[in-house]
Chain A
Amino acid sequence: SQQGEEDPQALSIQEGENATMNCSYKTSINNLQWYRQNSGRGLVHLILIRSNEREKHSGRLRVTLDTSKKSSSLLITASRAADTASYFCATVPYSSASKIIFGSGTRLSIRP
């Protein structure tokens, strides 16, 4: 089974609203990464948070990490139509830092 599971599977919000996606994982991690995938394209890296960090910001993105609950959240503030995409978390296990495993993803739709 996949290391990361995202919630919700799909999210539809109005432009300008904030979007929150959650990721849960099973084993201890070295770091957790979020990626974005536009329809039919490859994935693009958004942000990385290390296991000793609790929160990280990048532009309109805010990522939190709770290692005690083995969960992370990605917040996109002031959403735009161009944010419509699928978002995936990827975990880098502490035991095998080269084996990068993805979650099932959240499909985000921004309504104009």
Chain B
Amino acid sequence: NAGVTQTPKFRVLKTGQSMTLLCAQDMNHEYMYWYRQDPGMGLRLIHYSVGEGTTAKGEVPDGYNVSRLKKQNFLLGLESAAPSQTSVYFCASIPGGRGSTGANVLTFGAGSRLTVL
């Protein structure tokens, strides 16, 4: 049972390039989240999803797009990377959904460190 897996773990981009971060969970969780964490700061919610085919904006959604085509995957895209998007990105998931018997606490991936030059 791998839990939440993020790929890639590290990436360096030039300003204006695009990329996609992949988050995969094998726990059949309904809800998935993307957060960013900047040095010395807490996590800020970028986008989240409460089920396959649905996404919603978080606190800092600008410059990012997401897709949840499959329940187990949540993709975070940067169409035109900017230096301000240099950060560590964390994906997380919770059981969520109706009839969920599990405690709705987040299971996190190990993080993806992105540098935009």
Contacts and interface: CB of A to CB of B under 8 A. Distances in A.
Interface size classification for chain A: 20 to 34
A104 B90 contact: no
Contacts of A45: 105-107
Given A98-B50, A98-B96, A104 B108 contact: no
B45 A101 contact: yes
10 contacts: A2-B42, A2-B59, A6-B42, A33-B106, A41-B111, A42-B90, A98-B96, A101-B59, A104-B42, A105-B42
Interface of A: 2, 4, 6, 31, 33, 35, 40-45, 48, 88, 90, 92, 97-105
Interface of B: 4, 31, 33, 35, 41-45, 48, 50, 56, 58-59, 90, 92, 94, 96, 103-111
Given A97-B104, A98-B48, 17 more contacts: A2-B42, A2-B44, A2-B59, A4-B42, A33-B105, A40-B111, A42-B111, A43-B92, A44-B108, A48-B103, A88-B42, A99-B48, A100-B45, A101-B45, A102-B35, A102-B44, A105-B42
